[in-house]
Amino acid sequence: MSNPKFKYAPISVFLFPFYNLACGILLCTDGDDSLYPIAVLIDELRNEDVQLRLNSIKKLSTIALALGVERTRTELLPFLTDTIYDEDEVLLALAEQLGNFTMLVGGPEYVHCLLPPLESLATVEETVVRDKAVESLRKISQEHSPVDLEVHFEPLVKRLASGDWFTSRTSACGLFSVCYPRVSSTVKAEIRQHFRTLCSDDTPMVRRAAASKLGEFAKVLELDYVKSDIISLFTALASDEQDSVRLLAVEACVSIATLLPQEDLETLVMPTLRQAAEDKSWRVRYMVADKFSELQKAVGPEITKNDLVPAFQNLLKDCEAEVRAAAANKVKEFCENLPEDSRETIIMTHILPCVKELVSDTNQHVKSALASVIMGLSTILGKDNTVEHLLPLFLAQLKDECPEVRLNIISNLDCVNEVIGIRQLSQSLLPAIVELAEDAKWRVRLAIIEYMPLLAGQLGVEFFDEKLNTLCMAWLIDHVYAIREAATCNLMKLVEKFGAEWAQNTIVPKVLGMANDPNYLHRMTTLFCINSLSEACGQEITTKQMLPVVLKMSNDQVANVRFNVAKSLQKIGPVLDSSALQTEVKPVLEKLATDTDMDVKYFAQEAISGEFSSINVLTE
Amino acid sequence: MAGVASGNDFQWCFSQVKGAIDEDVAEADIISTVEFNHSGELLATGDKGGRVVIFQHEEECKNRLQLRGEYNVYSTFQSHEPEFDYLKSLEIEEKINKIRWLPQQNSAHFLLSTNDKTIKLWKISERDKRAEGYNLKDENGRLRDPFRITSLRVPVLMPMDLMVEASPRRVFANAHTYHINSISVNSDHETYLSADDLRINLWHLEITDRSFNIVDIKPANMEELTEVITAAECHPNQCNVFVYSSSKGTIRLCDMRAAALCDRHTKFFEEPEDPSSRSFFSEIISSISDVKFSHSGRYMMTRDYLSVKVWDLNMENRPVETYQVHEYLRSKLCSLYENDCIFDKFECCWNGSDSAIMTGSYNNFFRMFDRNTRKDITLEASRESSKPRATLKPRKVSTGGKRKKDEISVDSLDFNKKILHTAWHPKENVIAVAATNNLYIFQDKIN
């Protein structure tokens, strides 16, 4: 540690991404001093500081390049294989690096050298590390020649699959599908056997891993084996004693159904799917509801009509609120994907009655899930049905006691707007908006502010001026800063929508009026509004109307206001013309720069240097 | 005298005692939980000082005549530190309330330990190799001249003395307002539950920033509070079932399949009260201090102040077996109330084959009951009998007026010496008994 400065200086060299290659070339030709940075990196692989170890691991390719392929294979990789004691983040980085290491060990011919370290990483207990190791193994499996795949890769998969600990067996589940398509038929049979064994493993962890990879494995299997092997595994997993395994089988159901010809679905998949939709455990039913659109696409229109419609109705009426909410979320997608010839009939006779009940559900999550999609039904059902059947539901939800429900309706107004126009709703819309705008929870108020520009666009300037303008101005003096801040931002977006002239007539006078408010927080709001409005309003309004107010506020007795004047002047500077800058702004800033308050001084100087350094060049 | 358990007649004999012999015991050294892992190879204890000590079973020594190997210290670590909650002005003790082992998943071992508020997941792993060889330092640790490095050295791994490391992997905090009394790992191996006085939370073992509240018995008005949760446990093989016991002597069984919130129980186990034995203390002594499922999952056992009960999960109206632990104390309840002993929380445990049960008592006595023969035995954990392979003599407390030889009178029982925590090896007749700051290990001696 005699010369720490020197020690760390060369490392910065590694910040250049292309240095890696250059370094390798240098080493072959150049003197010894270029070894130094690499030596540091190698030593830091074992530094006590995790961050330094992590840095070194991330530069592993540099080390490998310096060592050359031979020493990387014989020395570096064996060392790394046994280094699995480290912190998760280091192991995670290592697992990722090794996935890109093929060229550094000598190309595809030697890629199998990477298997031992990845194998040990695939057995650690930390899921993220294991998953990354599996990901890298999958990646490098593609770089194996068919021979190497059978000689090196496939034995590794078998070792993992028959490992003592479930960590290795879970990792194996993710590797079958990448080697299966590229091995001989004998090995294929072995792989199928291994997969079968893991599907009935003693530990639920492994069965879960197998269940989650079932669909992926089915995709690479020959159709005959899908029918003979996969279906029985699928059926077994779908009736596993563990809820957590059964629910994963639902996911597999989607991929399997996609693979099978239509005529086999009824006998091979549907009994299991029906059973899952009526499972005793709400978590399994939840999963069915959550995957409903995918399932619907996978089984096709006929089965949808006969089976899924009643199943969906049941899920919408489920006794567990979580399930109803998941199903409610899918209402629009499900209806959209119904076969066109019978879509309207199915919705009107089967789905809509359930939806009507959900509008008055006892659980607010269910209602708000429904509110987030229900508006989408109007485009599917068309104008007449919307007015007759959906509108009453929208109106009911707009009056819901739970603000989230109302918000979700308001945030999706655009769908209805396209079909029936927003006027139909405005009667109920306005009270709902006003109520949300005055909600006791500031997060609710914040949420509705964010929808204001959208609403303004849909309702038009006239309606806005008449009904909503006062609200927007009231938010400017809200007692929560986040609301005042959002309100200023909202004004800017409104000006962008309605134009500078509208701003000049409706907003600017009110904003500027607040400059004389006795509350200094409100006076500051004027400044914040000017900051965000100046650009949208343009030079004329800014110079003629806003600037005088700002300049006048530089005499405010509250220092916070004064330094915000300095900040504002810097902010609106680019919008002003240079003569106004020189004659009006500069003197004020110079005066503020001699203020007694040190913050005011600071920001005034900041503004002067920020603005006039460039301006001076222009004027001189 | 026949030992209890497994049908064979055997006697319990002393194997080991851990902990200091000193008369005055430091508060921090008092053992607060004992737990074997699933293979019985490791035995963990937690104490009031927040430490966890893990003992490992070592194979038979050749030169000493041992029936089985001994348990020796494998790893010791500080699991919890005392803390202060500044918002509530509350001290949070470091005392380990419970330890639960996770099923083994790789060569390392994992356990959950909890104090009143925070649950931690620990990894206990071995290391027997060390990397050697630096580029910038020579063998003696002297720095090398950076300009004279002519070749690169990759470190090599060399064998070294076995080192056992305990590292904290996850901290599950801020989910309990009241004191955590139980943690229990689910048979799905990915979730566990934790219970405090009024709520039960369900956690995913890999997720620390959220947990699901599955039971909440907190009334809107705390003045209406009539009972608290005293213990909770997951079923050993049905991942959807768990039970929790209450201070009113009842047990509720819940099915997590039925609903996301388990406010409504599926089964309610309660024994009708015998009106003849009703007294001022009835409610206090009926409070359940521990509940444990049998390994088979068919039965569960509950411990109240005076008895242990075994319930068949299929019969809710009364227990199938009731064992009196120290019925002779019934006449002493008044003084036990005065010295607060009546609120002691005794735990109970099953042997590996569910044929016998064990629980603690006062005066360093502990009791075992054979479920098949209905035989029971009282043994004592004491330094006097702690000679290698010394057979434990059964103890008797005189209940009548006349005290026989070898009997001890109720009045001379030492109520400061209590055995609250015991554990039974999952496969063999090896038991661990925590007596204040000492851990006794006993095993069978076949005649």
Cβ neighbours of B136 in A, within 8 Å: 39-40, 43
Q: State the pLDDT confidence band at B129, using cuts at 50, 70 and 90.
A: confident
Query: B131–A42: do the CB atoms touch at under 8 Å?
Result: no
Task: Give the burial class of B114: count Cβ atoms within 10 A of its Cβ; 0-12 exposed, 13-18 middle, 19 or more buried.
Answer: buried
Average pLDDT, chain A: 87
What is the per-residue DSSP string for A423-442?
HHHHHHHHHHHHHHHT-SSH
Long-range contacts, stretch B310-313, CB < 8 angstroms, 24+ apart: B310/B357, B310/B371, B311/B251, B311/B269, B313/B253, B313/B267
CB-based contact (8 Å) between A16 and chain B?
Answer: no
Average pLDDT over residues A28-39: 64
pTM for this entry = 0.82
Q: How many CB atoms lie within 10 A of CB B409?
A: 11
pLDDT score recorded for residue A399 = 82
Between CA A523 and CA B428 the distance in angstroms is: 79
Average pLDDT over residues B101-122: 94
Average pLDDT over residues B73-86: 95
pLDDT score recorded for residue B65 = 53
Query: B135–A66: do the CB atoms touch at under 8 Å?
Result: no
User: Do A318 and A285 form a contact (C-beta atoms < 8 A)?
Assistant: yes
**pLDDT tens sequence across B396-419:** 998 776 777 788 988 889 999 999
Q: ipTM score here? A: 0.85
CB-based contact (8 Å) between A84 and chain B?
Answer: no
Lowest-confidence range among A148-162, A243-257, B156-170, B379-393?
Answer: B379-393
pLDDT score recorded for residue A273 = 95
Between CA B41 and CA B35 the distance in angstroms is: 11
pLDDT score recorded for residue A402 = 86
Q: What percent of chain B stands above pLDDT 70?
A: 95
By CA distance, what is B129's nearest residue in A? A82
Q: State the pLDDT confidence band at A2, using cuts at 50, 70 and 90.
A: very low
**pLDDT tens sequence across A485-513:** 999 999 999 998 888 888 888 888 888 88
User: Do B16 and B440 form a contact (C-beta atoms < 8 A)?
Assistant: yes
Question: Measured between alpha carbons, how far is residue A252 from residues A5, A40, A231 in Å?
Answer: 57, 49, 10
CB-based contact (8 Å) between B264 and chain A?
Answer: no
Average pLDDT, chain B: 90
pLDDT score recorded for residue A11 = 37
Q: Which of B106, B169, B237 sits opposite A123 (nearest CB)?
A: B106
Q: State the pLDDT confidence band at A363, using cuts at 50, 70 and 90.
A: very high
Q: Which of residues 137-176 of B touch A (CB under 8 A)?
A: 137, 143, 146-157, 165, 169
Query: B157–A2: do the CB atoms touch at under 8 Å?
Result: no
Give the max Cα distance, chain B. 94
Between CA A524 and CA B195 the distance in angstroms is: 50
Q: Is A572 left (phi over 0), alpha (psi -120 to 50) or beta?
A: alpha
pLDDT for residue B324 is more than 80: yes
By CA distance, what is B147's nearest residue in A? A33
pLDDT for residue B120 is more than 90: yes
Cβ neighbours of A321 in B, within 8 Å: 260
- Joined together, the tokens standing for residue A478 give 């809200």
Task: Indicate the domain borders of chain B.
Answer: 12-144+154-444
Q: Which of B108, B129, B153 sits opposite A125 (nearest CB)?
A: B108
In terms of average pLDDT, the best of A403-407, A418-422, B96-100 is B96-100
Cβ neighbours of A283 in B, within 8 Å: 257
Q: State the pLDDT confidence band at A140, using cuts at 50, 70 and 90.
A: very high
Lowest-confidence range among A47-61, A122-136, A408-422, A510-524?
Answer: A408-422
CATH of domain B12-144+154-444: 2.130.10.10
- Joined together, the tokens standing for residue A204 give 């639920």
B416: helix, strand or coil = coil
Instruction: Return the closest-CA partner of residue A176 out of A128, A125, A224, A230.
Output: A230
Query: A67–B154: do the CB atoms touch at under 8 Å?
Result: yes
Average pLDDT over residues B275-296: 93
- Joined together, the tokens standing for residue A33 give 């001093």
Instruction: Give B363 to chain A, closest Cα distance, Å.
Output: 43
pLDDT score recorded for residue A613 = 60
Average pLDDT over residues B215-235: 95
Over the Cα atoms of chain B, what is R_g? Answer: 24
Between CA A288 and CA A251 the distance in angstroms is: 8
Torsion of CA B241, B245, B249, B250, to 10 degrees: -30
Average pLDDT over residues B350-372: 96
pLDDT: which is higher, A246 or B10: A246
Name the strand (E) or helix (H) holding A68.
helix A60-71
Residues in chain A: 620
Between CA A573 and CA A592 the distance in angstroms is: 16
pLDDT for residue A1 is more than 60: no
Instruction: Give A585 to chain B, closest Cα distance, Å.
Output: 49
By CA distance, what is A42's nearest residue in B? B154
Between CA A417 and CA A378 the distance in angstroms is: 9
Q: Which of B106, B136, B240 sits opposite A243 (nearest CB)?
A: B240
Instruction: Return the closest-CA partner of residue A80 out of A107, A115, A108.
Output: A115
Query: A282–B259: do the CB atoms touch at under 8 Å?
Result: yes
Query: B187–A79: do the CB atoms touch at under 8 Å?
Result: no
Task: Give the burial class of B278: count Cβ atoms within 10 A of its Cβ; 0-12 exposed, 13-18 middle, 19 or more buried.
Answer: exposed
Name the strand (E) or helix (H) holding A233.
helix A231-238
pLDDT score recorded for residue A458 = 77
pLDDT for residue A155 is more than 60: yes
Q: Which of B105, B136, B206 sits opposite A40 (nearest CB)?
A: B136
Cβ neighbours of A126 in B, within 8 Å: 169
Average pLDDT over residues A358-367: 94
Name the packing angle between helices A127-141 and A166-173 (round to 10°). Answer: 40
Query: A82–B151: do the CB atoms touch at under 8 Å?
Result: no
pLDDT for residue A10 is more than 50: no
Instruction: Give B381 to chain A, closest Cα distance, Å.
Output: 38
Cβ neighbours of B104 in A, within 8 Å: 165
pLDDT score recorded for residue A15 = 36
Instruction: Return the closest-CA partner of residue B290 out of B427, B195, B379.
Output: B195
Between CA B199 and CA B208 the distance in angstroms is: 18
CB-based contact (8 Å) between B123 and chain A?
Answer: yes
In terms of average pLDDT, the best of A91-95, A514-518, A583-587 is A91-95
Between CA A386 and CA A368 the distance in angstroms is: 20
pLDDT score recorded for residue B387 = 79
- Joined together, the tokens standing for residue B107 give 């060569």
B125: helix, strand or coil = strand
pLDDT score recorded for residue B447 = 52
Average pLDDT over residues B74-95: 93
Core vs surface per residue A557-586: b (16+ CB within 10 A) or e:
eeebbbbbbbbbbbbbbebbeeebbeebbb
Average pLDDT over residues A1-30: 37
**pLDDT tens sequence across B293-302:** 999 999 999 9
Task: Give the burial class of A539: count Cβ atoms within 10 A of its Cβ; 0-12 exposed, 13-18 middle, 19 or more buried.
Answer: middle
Cβ neighbours of B240 in A, within 8 Å: 243, 281
Q: How many CB atoms lie within 10 A of CB B147?
A: 11
Q: Which residue has the tokens 């309605």?
A: A498
CB-based contact (8 Å) between A244 and chain B?
Answer: yes
Report the sign of the C-alpha dihedral through residues A169, A170, A171, A173, in that order: positive
pLDDT for residue B12 is more than 60: yes
What is the per-residue DSSP string for B213-255?
EEEE---SSGGG----EEEEEE-SS-TTEEEEEETTS-EEEEE
Core vs surface per residue B49-69: b (16+ CB within 10 A) or e:
bbbbbbbbbeeeeeeeebebe
* Phi/psi at B435 (5° precision): -115, 100
Between CA A106 and CA B268 the distance in angstroms is: 68
Cβ neighbours of A66 in B, within 8 Å: 152
Average pLDDT over residues A107-131: 94
pLDDT score recorded for residue A7 = 34
pLDDT score recorded for residue A618 = 42
User: Do A534 and A546 form a contact (C-beta atoms < 8 A)?
Assistant: yes
Q: Which residue has the tokens 């530089």?
A: A554
Average pLDDT over residues A227-233: 94
Cβ contacts of B196 within 8 Å, gap of 6 or more: B176, B177, B178, B179, B180, B181, B229
pLDDT for residue A19 is more than 70: no
- Joined together, the tokens standing for residue B413 give 């029982």
- Joined together, the tokens standing for residue B4 give 């209890």
By CA distance, what is A166's nearest residue in B? B105
Q: Is B59 left (phi over 0), alpha (psi -120 to 50) or beta?
A: beta
Instruction: Return the closest-CA partner of residue B11 out of B429, B439, B359, B373.
Output: B429
pLDDT score recorded for residue A507 = 87
Q: Which residue has the tokens 């001093």?
A: A33
User: Do A233 and A173 form a contact (C-beta atoms < 8 A)?
Assistant: no
Instruction: Return the closest-CA partner of residue B428 out of B27, B72, B71.
Output: B71
User: Do A281 and B240 form a contact (C-beta atoms < 8 A)?
Assistant: yes
Count chain A–chain B contacts defined by CB atoms under 8 A: 117
Cβ neighbours of B127 in A, within 8 Å: 85
pLDDT for residue A226 is more than 90: yes
